[in-house]
Structure formats: structure tokens, C-alpha cells
Amino acid sequence: MSKMLLRRAAMSIPILLAVSVLVFMMIHLMPGDPARIIAGDSATEEDIAMVRTTLGLDKPVVTQYAVYMANVFKGDLGTSLRTHRPVVDEIKVRLPNTIRLAAVAMVLSVVFGVAIGVISASRPYSWADSASMVGALVGVSMPTFYLGLMLMLLFSVKLGWVPLLADNSLKSMILPAVTLGARSLALLARMTRSSMLEVLNQDYILASRAQGLPGNVILYSRALKNSMTTILTVAGLEFGHLMAGAVVTEQVFAWPGIGRLIVESIWARDFPVVQASVLIIAVAFVLINLLTDILYTVVNPRVRFR
């Protein structure tokens, strides 16, 4: 098993290198002269030329990439073109915020998503099932932007139950986490339901029933356990999406996370920050995938022997 994990880990190195090349090329091919943007309105040509030389933007792209990667391996992610702060410092304050938000959203969606899925599957086509599945459909389709604003209007402005903006308390994280997690919750509910229904139709469930096992034991220890592989796959992928897809939620709730940092940096053509942030998200994706693989072996012993 450890051999498999090592192999998987080794495979991620070329993936990350490819990501770095891709990101580097992509943002350099994008139209928009960073020197001009950084110099700002009311700058003279002389001002702009000075900015370009100072930032090394007058050198060939390949040289810029080589210099960049050499520094990355030394642990130096560069300096933000926009704020002149080290990129590491920029990301250090933002990344934990995004992870925190994504984690709370993940817990919410797994707990409620799986619970709703199990209830639906246990009594298919009942009113509870229909209601949850309609709810899930709404959850999947509702634009994050709209959902966030409506939740704020109702729970913060009208009812005053929760603060509008995050202040590090769990209470203030509910609205952004619900907004961010709504889609994943709905998706997990639907996946759990269909996967459970499939398992519940298997012969061994029929056999268990014939043996006279109690309903709960069949549902939780037989059916749910066997649906776990599907649920884990979806949950793993969704966590990646929650990290990368937090942009809109962060925008609406003024949440100082990495998604907003990336968007702001793209607008400002702040290449070093975009590169580093995308790399970090790529690393997170790879790690989450690795973690999901490990969890497979825990929930499904058959995987261990491969």
C-alpha cells in the first residue's frame, strides 16, 4: 500500500511542473502590460519604462520562468508586483481563511448531504424524498451570488441573527459556509441517494433481510458502508472545488480568502501572485486526491490488495 502511495506521490511532481509551465505561459500570453497597469493612470512613458526594468519584465519569458522556478525551489515565491510585499506573506494571510471556510462548508455538506441522501433512499418516492430531491435541485441550480445576498438580507439585515461580515466566530461563518457548501450539499444528497438505492437493490441486502437483520443495521452497516466509495469520491472532488470555487462567496461576503486574491491579481496582472496561488491550489488538489485514495483503502478493503 505504501508503495502505491509513493508511486502516486511521485506522479504528482510532473503534474505540478506542468501546471507551473501552463500558468506561467498563460498569464504571459494574456493581453495587458503589467508595467503600464502598475504605473497606473497619469504615469508618463518614462515612469512606465522604469517600472518595467525594475520588475525584470523586459527579459524574455523563458528567462523569467527559469529565474522564477529557481527561486521557487529555494522557497522564494517572489514579490507581488502590485503591493511589493513578498508573495509568501500575501498567501499566508489568505490561504488559512479559504481552508477554514471550505472545511466548515465541507462538514456542513457531508453531514447534511449524506443524512438527506440516506433518508431519501430509505423511503424512496415518499414526500420526504421528493421534498429533499427538489431542495437538492434548487441547491445545485441556485447561483451562489444570489443565494449569498439573499441569505444576508434575510438573516443579517432583516432578522439580525448573524453578523453581516465574518469576525472569526463560528456564528459569522454560517452564512458564507452555507452559501459555499449549498451546491456540494445538494450534489452529495443526490449522489448518496442514488448510490444507496443501487446498493439496497443488491442480492446481499435481500439476503440480509431474509436473515432477519434489523432495518437500521442493514441501512447503516451494510448499505451506507458500501456506498461510501462513491460518497468519498464526490466529497474529495467537491473539497477541491470548494477551495478553488470560493471566489464568488468570498466576493459577496468580503471574505479575505485566496480566491479573491487570485481574481484581484489577475485584474492587476500581478503574475507572481497568480502563479503562486494557482500552484498552491494545484498542490491542494493533488493532496486531496491522495488523501481520498488513502481513505478508499480504509472504507473498501478490496482496494488494498490491488
Partner 1 sequence: MSTKATRIVAILVSLLLVAVTVTGCGSKPNASNSLTYAVGTDAKTLDPQFVNDLPSAVAAMQIHETLVARDENMNLVPGLATEWSVSSDGKTWTFKLRKGVKFHDGTDFNADAVKYTLDRMLDKATASPRRSVVSMITGVKVVDASTVQITTDQPFGPFLAQLSTYNVAMMSPTAAKAAGVKGYGQKPVGTGPFKFKSWTPGEKLVLERNDSYWGTKPTIKELTFKVVPEDATRVMLLKTGDAQVVGGVPAFQIDDLKKDANITLIAKPGFRTIYVGMNNSQKPFDDPRVRQAVNYAIDREAIVKNLLRGQATIAVGPESTTIPGAAKTLQTVYTHDVAKAKQLLKDAGYPDGFKTVFHTPSGRYPMDQQVSEAIVGQLKEAGIQAELKVMDWGAYNDMLTKGTESRLFLLGKGSPSADPDMTLSLSFGTKASMNQAFYSNKQVDGLLADQRKETNADKRAQILQQIQDLVQKDAAWANLYYETITVGTRANVKGLQVLPNELIFFNKVTIGK
Among positions 23, 39, 105, 151, the unique one binding partner 1 when judged by CB under 8 A:
39
Amino acid identity, residue 77? L
Q: Which is nearer to partner 1, 108 or 286 (CB)?
A: 108
Q: Say whether residue 96 binds partner 1 (CB under 8 A).
A: no
Which among 138, 129, 144, 240 is positioned nearest to 192, based on CA atoms? 129
- How is 90-135 classified by DSSP, letter by letter? HHHHHHHHHHHHHHHHHHHHHHHHHHHHHHHHHSTTSHHHHHHHHH
Which candidate, 113, 169, 157, places its Cα nearest to that of 136? 113
Pick the closer one to partner 1 by CB: 13 or 256.
Answer: 256
CB 305 → partner 1: shortest distance, Å?
Answer: 33
Interface region with partner 1, contact rule CB under 8 A, candidates 2-10, 67-75, 148-156, 291-299: 148-156
Q: How many CB atoms lie within 10 A of CB 291?
A: 13
C-alpha atoms less than 13 angstroms from C-alpha of 96 in its C-beta half-sphere: 6
- Establish if 172 lies at the interface with partner 1 (CB under 8 A): yes
For residue 30, state whether it binds partner 1 (rule: CB under 8 A): yes
- How would you class 201 by CB atoms within 10 Å of its CB: exposed for 0-12, middle for 13-18, buried for 19 or more? exposed
Type of residue found at 305: F
Specify the stretch interacting with partner 1 by CB under 8 A; choose among 35-43, 183-191, 288-296, 298-306.
35-43
Q: Does 203 bind partner 1 (CB under 8 A)?
A: no
Greatest extent of the chain over all pairs of C-alpha atoms, in Å: 86
140 binds partner 1 (CB under 8 A): no
Q: Is 212 in the site for partner 1 (CB under 8 A)?
A: no
Q: Does 170 bind partner 1 (CB under 8 A)?
A: yes
Give the C-alpha distances (Å, rounded to integers) separating 75 from 68, 72, 88, 89: 11, 5, 9, 12
Q: Tell me which of 227, 269, 277, 281 binds partner 1, using CB under 8 A.
A: 269
The stretch near partner 1 (CB under 8 A) out of 116-124, 181-189, 230-238, 277-285 is 116-124
Q: Supply the DSSP symbol for 153.
A: I
Note the residues at the interface with partner 1 (CB under 8 A): 30-34, 36-48, 50-51, 54, 79, 82-85, 90, 93-94, 111-112, 115-116, 118-119, 122-123, 128, 149, 152-153, 156-157, 160, 162-165, 167, 169-172, 174, 214-216, 219, 251-254, 256, 260-261, 264, 266-269
